[in-house]
Structure 1
Amino acid sequence: MADLDDLRRTAGGLPGSEERATTGGAAWFVRGKLYAWECHPWPSIPDDIRAIIARELVVGVKVADRVDALALVEMAPDVFLRTTTPWSEPKVAFRMSGIDDDHLAELVTEAWRVQAPKYLRRELDDGS
């Protein structure tokens, strides 16, 4: 099971990534664009999902398009939550308790790629 320290480790290794404290918890940005965040049980979130977020650690990440988010939810509905709010689409939220370290690294890195400018993506790829 992954935790926020695992997310911090992965995000910290991505070029141009920075962590910021927000009113909802920790969030990660690349060049000012949000790509991963700790979910908070805001009143605008549907009641059933808000209850999950209030009970356990849930993280949201940007995805390339809405189809990718839907595929993850269909693949593992016990881990990936349906859309929490219509804002900042496309995105997907997931229970950290259902994610292993490798899958977390993949989700966070892909979210970073969605938001990162081309020169930073090239920097990451050249460093691999």
Structure 2
Amino acid sequence: MASLDDLRRTADELPGSEERATTGGVAWFVRGKLYAWECHPWPSIPDDVREIVATELVVGVKVADPVDALALVQMAPDVFLRTTTPWGEPKVAFRMAGIDLEHLAELVTDAWRVQAPKYLRREFDGDA
């Protein structure tokens, strides 16, 4: 089972990544753009999903395309939540208890890539 510390370790390796405390928990940004966050049971979240978010650790990440989010939900509906809030799409939220460390690192890195400027992506890829 992955933890926020595991997410933190991955985010710390990404150029320009910054962790911030927010009203809903912790969140990670690159050049001021949100790419990963701890989900909070806001009233705007559907009741069934809010129950999950209120009782276990759920993380949201940006994705490149809504189709990517849908594919993850269809692939593992017990891990990936169908929706949280309508804001900040495209994104996907997942139960940390159902994610292994390798998949967590992939999700966080891909989310960072969605938001990071080209020069930081090149730096990370070693092309700078």
Fold similarity call, TM over 0.5: yes
Question: How much does 1:85 deviate?
Answer: 1.1
User: What is the TM-score with the length of structure 1 in the denominator?
Assistant: 0.98
Q: Are 1:4 and 2:4 an aligned pair?
A: yes
CA RMSD in angstroms, aligned pairs only: 0.7
Partner in structure 1 of residue 34 of structure 2: 34
Supply the AA of the counterpart residue of 1:73: V
Residue 89 (structure 1) aligns with: 89
Q: Quick one: distance in 1 between partners of 2:20 and 2:122?
A: 24
* Deviation string, structure 1 residues 31-58 (Cα, Å, up to 9, x no partner): 0000000000000000000000000000
SS in 2 for 1:35: strand
Structure 2 runs not aligned, ≥5 long = none
- 2:49 corresponds in structure 1 to 49
Q: 1: distance between equivalents of 2:44 and 2:83? A: 12
Give the structure 1 partner of residue 107 of structure 2.
Answer: 107
Structure 1 vs Structure 2: percent identity of aligned residues?
86
Q: How many residues align?
A: 127
Q: CA deviation at 1:67?
A: 0.2
Distance 2:16 2:110 in 1: 14
Matched, 1:62 2:77: no
Unaligned residue ranges in structure 1 (runs of 5+)? none
| TM-score computed with the length of structure 2 as normaliser | 0.98
Q: Deviations for 1:38-83, whole angstroms, at most 9, x for unmatched residues? A: 0000000000000000000000000001000000000000000012
Q: Deviations over 1:15-37 (max 9, x none)?
A: 00000000000000000000000
AA aligned to 2:120 is L
Shift of 1:116: 0.1
Structure 1 consecutive aligned stretches of length 4 or more whose deviation exceeds 6 Å: none
